[in-house]
């Protein structure tokens, strides 16, 4: 099958060694949300890797419908990585496969437009301003409500936008609060005690950088604000260099590796300029992408070492708080459940920190979510581009959430918050979708820490 | 047999199971050209994914009518090429049949569809204080149907026995679509044990579409030890000493230095010292009383045979830590070499040390990298040959060495497969271990279930 497509496979050919680490054992099959629903091995990690290998070996053309469909249908959730005994670096391979796939067949216009928007901070700001207006005016919510299902892209986009609006944090746990004795706020000297007992103290950074993000800054400013306040309350001065931009995660996942690299360079330079040893990220997708900068720019003569240094600096907000110990706020006696973002749990391997962070809140009742480790179907733009499957996965997630009878579901990634929020709305459920750090912030606020 | 697969037939299959559950696109069939053993590759003519016994029966009847052969497939983790079909045949895959029909805690039984994953069954039984004992190292992915077809074993089968001990009833669909119910709760089990005959039939008799299995109470407690040795033979002798002392461990597993190094270099590094020649995992389980005594006795055996170090797990977490190196061995090889040939042979336990020496000599002679991971208590060896299939000279040496290893095992009174089955891979060795008469009886048994010869042709029998 000697077609022009074979030449396009170069991006993957460079990854031949990585591809060959797959021993075809099949242990990853049950971990894959698309395989367990579609039952076709081409929709399993092993099957997708095999398709990639077939492209590299010139057995199939990357423009082939099957290659395009199955690579597109991957959530990029990386649930296949921690279960793989051979340690196949699936996430990296997927990005390269996407790069090959899009060269062979360009993406739809709205994806290209969206990626173009996030490439430039100016354009991002304009679009975000418009989005906030749509959200605030209630038009987004209305649109999601009135548009027919077959206009999926638009309907889902608006529902997600509307769901980004934020939860009613102040009301959380109000009903039960009356019945419970007020828990004592952590003693006023708890913070200084924390400072001089912890053996990690010497390493404790006084100043940290904070990634504002594109969607996070545009639609979730309240989460960034909460992050800043919580960091400050715990003794970290957060700086947000203005030269930073979008982290490039969306570009990487969509196969626009050059776009992702350009953004990575901008951020590396921006945070080098801020002179910080730690960069805090509160969006799982961005954290995973930035921890991947070393890999992304490994072949860039000028940036390889700088990217590796940057990767070392990245921590999730939950990691930094738990690592150095955190102050205690007032009680928030709400029933809350936690959904693990794939890019925190599978891609970064951060499992316990967010839970510990939530457990530190007095009287917060944390109920386990069935299938918390499974993707919610949001997966960047997946919920929009792969409506049917994304919807099925999102709907299962909502079923599990409803089962917990929680008042709120906490998850540390804007994409997940919006996707879960949208599906909760479609189902008419009155459950708040919030970032875990917002709960800590609320607990501090109630405790009068600021 | 083997009329070409016509579009008429596939159209009929689509009518039976639904359009989306039939795969015919050549690009999509590539994913099904191998199972867990990539040395063999051949894409099928089509893949069908039926939902239940009834659909399986209709699909089979249609295919039998057109004289198209059928190959069952579960999760495709098999290591003998058993789930491969040629372009003239159809793969009937079971992942949609993944329902646990019920768990019956009173009778300690469960009824399952064949596509249920081994570990999911144990998960479903756990709330009742029960579990499913056979635990192949692939248990997180392999299906019960595949386990029945291969009569799968696992590390804990030393004490608990393999799949055949746990299957109490089967619903089987024959090639012509006929549905048989064999054994099972409350059914008449007089006469020949056909359930037993079907287990281990490697998809050559029919398709199991419902499986009834026995569950066991979860053991009250466990003791796990990890002993390190400077000589592989010493580890083998420690195994014999433990058994000779009358102890009955639940598991006795050895991994050698090559394997330890592969694991320690992988992301699953388990903290095993990389300079020892062998590590022996020993586990006891059962009621709490007596376990400490058994563990101490076994530890004594290890010291006696020259162990350098013995670790004992003090918590569940440490226990999993000790097991980690063993459990992740297979995949860890992926980092070391592009291709892997897993051998699977059984020898009498007492001959382990000499067989191991002979195998290592063969490896040296052919200049190949060999790594051993095995169920030592059962004498079930897994010599793994690491290679690169693009190197043709090496590939030839691998095949030669592999044949010699088999011959050594058979000469020591062993057999050619412990648990991975014969499939496509070991067919050529069948004459090494079975007399012509035995093979004739096997052929007659196959004929009794599949007189048409349409089920998984070209497998098992030479
Ligand atoms: C990492 C790894 C570790 C392993 N460890 C072990 C181990 O410890 N012990 C062990 O015994 N095996 C082990 N295996 C081998 C393999 O997992 C087992 O043979 C398993 O039973 C195969 O199940 P499967 O669902 O993957 O079947 P498949 O590979 O899909 O099929 C295997 C055979 O069963 C037939 N078959 C499948 N379903 C049915 C059905 N419903 N009815 C009739 N025939 C059917 C197929 O035709 C084929 O011949 C291991 C494999 C791997 C990759
Ligand atoms: S678990 Fe890893 S090695 Fe095994 S098939 Fe999946 S990706 Fe390949
Ligand atoms: S990233 Fe997620 S969806 Fe994609 S193959 Fe891996 S487990 Fe499946």
Of the two residues B452 and A178, the one the predictor is more confident about is B452
Indicate whether B366 pLDDT > 50: yes
Residue A3 pLDDT level (bands cut at 50, 70, 90): very low
In chain B, residues with a C-beta closer than 8 Å to the C-beta of A25 are 36, 77, 138, 141, 330-331
Q: Could you tell me which residues are beta bridge partners of residue B46?
A: B90
Residue B426 has pLDDT above 60, yes or no: yes
Domain B100-217 - what CATH class? alpha beta
Q: Is the pLDDT of residue B45 over 50?
A: yes
The predicted model gives B381-408 an average pLDDT of 88
pLDDT at B268: 73
| C-beta of B71 in contact with ligand 1 (< 6 A) | yes
| Rounded percentage of chain B residues whose pLDDT exceeds 90 | 63
pLDDT of residue A4: 37
Average pLDDT, chain B: 91
pLDDT in tens, B115-160: 999 999 999 999 999 999 999 989 999 999 999 999 999 888 889 9
Query: Which residues of A fall within a CB distance of 8 Å from B30?
Result: 50-51, 54, 59-60
pLDDT, averaged across chain A: 82
Of the residues A18, A20, A27, the best mutation for testing chain B's interface (the one with the most B CB atoms within 10 Å of its CB) is: A27
Residue, of B189 and A348, whose pLDDT is higher: A348
pLDDT of A181 reads 55
pLDDT tier for residue B2 given thresholds of 50, 70 and 90: very low
**Partner residue facing A26 (CB), from B49, B77, B340:** B77
pLDDT of B205 over the 90 cut: yes
Contact of B208 with B113, CB cutoff 8 Å: no
Question: Are A27 and B49 inside 8 Å of each other by CB?
Answer: no
B25, B36, B335: residue with CB nearest A25: B36
Could you read off the pLDDT of B251-308 as tens digits, one per residue?
999 999 989 988 888 777 778 888 999 999 999 999 998 899 999 999 999 999 999 9
Cβ pair B35:A29 closer than 8 A: no
B328 contact A CB<8A = yes
pLDDT of res. B90: 97
pLDDT at A107: 76
Write down the domain spans for chain A.
3-104, 328-446
Sequence-separated (6 or more) residues with CB below 8 Å from residue B450: B174, B175, B204, B205, B206
Interface A–B counts its CB contacts (< 8 A) at 105
What pLDDT is attached to residue B238? Answer: 92
Top pLDDT among B233 and A148 is at: B233
Q: Are A267 and A281 in contact (CB under 8 A)?
A: no
CATH fold of A328-446 reads: Rossmann fold (3.40.50)
Q: Is residue A224's pLDDT more than 50?
A: yes
Place of tokens 């206009």: A151
Average pLDDT over residues A105-114: 78
Interfacial A residues in 60-79 facing B (CB < 8 Å): 60, 64-67
Ligand 1 within 6 A of CB of B153: yes
- Quick check: A425 and A162 in contact, CB under 8 A? yes
Predicted confidence (pLDDT) per residue in A250-279, tens digit: 888 887 888 889 889 988 988 888 888 889
The pLDDT of residue A5 is 43
Query: Ligand 1 in contact with B59 (CB < 6 A)?
Result: no
CATH number of B221-411: 3.40.462.40
Q: Which of B200, B209, B202, B154 is nearest to B181 (CA)?
A: B209
Per-residue pLDDT tens over the stretch A132-172: 777 777 777 777 777 777 777 778 777 787 777 777 777 77
pLDDT-based confidence at residue A8 (cuts at 50, 70, 90):
very low
- Region A350-374: what's the mean pLDDT? 89
Domain ranges across chain B? 7-93, 100-217, 221-411
Q: Which of A264-268, A403-407, B82-86, B327-331 has the lowest mean pLDDT?
A: B327-331
Ramachandran region, residue A307 (left: φ > 0; alpha: ψ -120 to 50; beta: rest): alpha
In the predicted structure, residue B96 carries a pLDDT above the cut 60 = yes
> In B89-115, which positions are buried (b, 16+ CB within 10 angstroms) versus exposed (e)?
bbbbbbbbbbebeebeeeebbbbbbbb
Q: How far is the CA of B75 from the centre of ligand 3 (A)?
A: 16
Does the pLDDT of residue A441 top 80, yes or no?
A: yes
Least confident of A13-17, A250-254, A321-325, B187-191: B187-191
On the question of pLDDT at A190 being above 60, the answer is no
Chain B closest-CA separation from residue A402 CA (Å) = 22
What is residue B173's predicted lDDT score, i.e. its pLDDT? Answer: 97
Tell me whether B390 touches chain A (CB under 8 Å): no
Test site for ligand 1: of B51, B117, B136, most ligand atoms within 8 A of the Cβ: B136
Q: A3-104, what's its fold?
A: Fumarate Reductase Iron-sulfur Protein; Chain B, domain 2 (1.10.1060)
Q: Is residue B226 within a helix (H) or strand (E), and if so which, with residue range?
A: strand B221-229
Residue of B nearest to A55 (CA): B27
B379 Cβ below 6 A of ligand 1:
no
Say what the pLDDT of residue B437 is.
94
B384 touches A: beta carbon within 8 Å: no
A301 Cβ contact list (under 8 Å, min separation 6) = none
A88 in contact with chain B, both atoms CB, cutoff 8 A:
yes
A115 CB neighbour count, 10 Å cutoff: 20
Identity of the residue in B31, B35, B120 whose CB atom sits nearest the CB atom of A47: B31
Q: Which of B95, B113, B268 should be substituted to probe chain A, the one whose Cβ sees the most A Cβ atoms within 10 Å? A: B95
Partner-chain residue, chosen from A30, A47, A66, that has the shortest CB–CB distance to B25: A66
pLDDT for B19: 94
Mean pLDDT of B71-78: 96
**Does the model's ipTM exceed the 0.95 cut?**
no
pLDDT at B409 over 70: yes
Ligand 3 pocket check: which of A27, A34, A41, A253 to mutate, most ligand atoms within 8 Å of Cβ?
A34
Q: Are A59 and B49 in contact (CB under 8 A)?
A: no
Predicted confidence (pLDDT) per residue in B114-124, tens digit: 999 999 999 99
| CATH topology classification for B7-93 | 3.30.43
pLDDT score for A187: 47
What is the distance between the alpha carbons of residues A340 and A410, in angstroms, rounded to a whole number?
9
């Amino acid at each position: 099958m000697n077609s022009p497509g074979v030449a396009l496979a170069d991006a993957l050919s460079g990854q031949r060694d990585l591809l060959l680490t797959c021993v075809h054992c099949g242990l990853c099959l049950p971990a894959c949300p698309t395989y367990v629903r579609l039952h076709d091995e081409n929709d399993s990690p092993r099957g997708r890797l095999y398709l990639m290998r077939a492209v590299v070996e010139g057995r199939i053309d990357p423009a082939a419908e099957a290659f395009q469909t199955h690579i597109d249908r991957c959530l990029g959730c990386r649930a296949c990585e921690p279960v793989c005994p051979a340690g196949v670096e699936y996430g990296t391979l997927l990005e390269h496969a996407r790069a090959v796939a899009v060269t062979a067949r360009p993406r739809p216009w709205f994806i290209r437009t969206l990626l173009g928007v996030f490439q430039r901070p100016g354009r991002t700001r304009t679009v975000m301003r418009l989005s906030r207006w749509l959200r605030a005016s209630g038009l987004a919510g209305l649109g999601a409500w009135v548009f027919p299902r077959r206009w999926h892209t638009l309907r889902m986009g608006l529902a997600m936008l509307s769901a980004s609006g934020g939860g009613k944090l102040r009301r959380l746990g109000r009903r039960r609060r009356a019945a419970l004795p007020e828990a004592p706020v952590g003693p006023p000297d708890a913070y200084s005690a924390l400072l001089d007992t912890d053996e990690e103290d010497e390493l404790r950074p006084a100043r940290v950088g904070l990634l504002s993000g594109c969607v996070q800054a545009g639609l979730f400013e309240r989460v960034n604000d909460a992050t800043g306040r919580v960091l400050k309350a715990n003794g970290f001065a957060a700086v947000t260099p203005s030269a930073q931009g979008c982290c490039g995660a969306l570009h990487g996942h969509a196969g626009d590796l050059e776009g992702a690299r350009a953004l990575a360079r901008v951020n590396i330079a921006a945070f080098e300029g801020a002179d910080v040893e730690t960069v805090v990220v509160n969006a799982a997708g961005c954290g995973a992408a930035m921890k991947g900068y070393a890999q992304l720019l490994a072949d860039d003569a000028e940036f390889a070492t700088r990217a590796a240094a940057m990767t070392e600096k990245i921590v999730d907000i939950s990691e930094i708080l738990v690592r150095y110990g955190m102050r205690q706020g007032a009680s928030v006696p709400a029933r809350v459940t936690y959904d693990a973002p794939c890019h925190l749990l599978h891609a970064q391997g951060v499992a316990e920190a967010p839970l510990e962070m939530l457990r530190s809140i007095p009287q917060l009742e944390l109920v386990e979510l069935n299938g918390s480790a499974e993707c919610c179907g949001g997966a960047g733009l997946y919920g929009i581009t792969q409506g049917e499957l994304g919807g099925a996965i999102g709907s299962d997630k909502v079923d599990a959430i409803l089962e917990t009878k929680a008042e709120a579901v906490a998850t540390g990634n804007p994409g997940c918050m919006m996707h879960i929020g949208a599906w909760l709305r479609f189902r008419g459920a009155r459950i708040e979708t919030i970032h875990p750090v917002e709960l800590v912030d609320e607990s501090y606020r109630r405790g009068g820490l600021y | 047999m083997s009329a070409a697969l016509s579009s008429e037939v596939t159209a009929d299959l689509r009518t039976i199971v639904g359009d989306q559950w039939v795969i015919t696109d050549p690009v999509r069939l590539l994913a099904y050209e191998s199972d867990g053993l990539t040395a063999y590759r051949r894409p099928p003519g089509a893949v069908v994914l039926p939902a239940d016994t009834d659909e399986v029966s209709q699909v089979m009847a249609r295919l039998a009518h057109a004289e198209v052969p059928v190959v069952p497939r579960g999760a495709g983790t098999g290591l003998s090429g058993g789930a491969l079909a040629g372009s003239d045949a159809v793969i009937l895959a079971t992942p949609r049949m993944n329902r646990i029909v019920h768990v019956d805690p009173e009778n300690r039984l469960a009824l399952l569809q064949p596509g249920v994953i081994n570990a999911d069954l144990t998960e479903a039984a756990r709330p009742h204080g029960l579990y499913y004992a056979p635990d192949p190292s692939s248990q997180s992915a392999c299906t019960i149907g595949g386990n029945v077809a291969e009569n799968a074993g696992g590390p804990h089968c030393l004490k608990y026995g393999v799949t055949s001990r746990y299957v109490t009833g089967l619903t089987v669909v024959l090639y012509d679509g006929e549905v048989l119910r064999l054994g099972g709760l409350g059914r008449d089990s007089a006469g020949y044990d056909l359930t037993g005959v079907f287990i281990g039939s490697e998809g050559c008799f029919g398709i199991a579409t419902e499986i009834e299995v026995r569950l066991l109470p979860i053991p009250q407690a466990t003791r796990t030890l990890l002993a390190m040795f400077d000589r592989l033979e010493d580890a083998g002798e420690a195994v014999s000493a433990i058994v000779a002392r009358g102890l009955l461990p639940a598991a006795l597993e050895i991994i050698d230095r090559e394997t330890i190094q592969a694991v320690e270099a992988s992301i699953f590094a388990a903290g095993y010292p990389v300079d020892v020649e062998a590590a022996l995992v020993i586990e006891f389980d059962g009621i709490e009383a007596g376990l400490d005594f058994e563990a101490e006795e076994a530890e004594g055996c290890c010291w006696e045979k020259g162990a350098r170090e013995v670790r004992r797990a003090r918590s569940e977490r440490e226990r999993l830590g000790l097991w980690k190196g063993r459990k992740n061995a297979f995949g860890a090889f992926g980092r070391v070499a592009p291709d892997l040939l897993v051998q699977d042979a059984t020898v009498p336990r007492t001959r382990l040390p000499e067989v191991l020496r002979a195998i290592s000599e063969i490896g040296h002679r052919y200049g190949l990298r060999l790594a051993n991971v095995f169920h030592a208590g059962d004498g079930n060896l897994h010599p793994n040959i690491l290679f690169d299939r693009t190197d043709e000279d090496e590939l030839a040496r691998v095949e030669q060495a592999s044949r010699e290893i088999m011959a050594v095992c058979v000469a020591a009174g062993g057999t050619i497969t412990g648990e991975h089955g014969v499939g496509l891979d070991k067919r050529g060795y069948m004459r090494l271990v079975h007399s012509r008469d035995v093979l004739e009886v096997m052929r007659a048994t196959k004929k009794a279930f599949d007189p048409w010869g349409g089920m998984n042709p070209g497998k098992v029998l030479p």
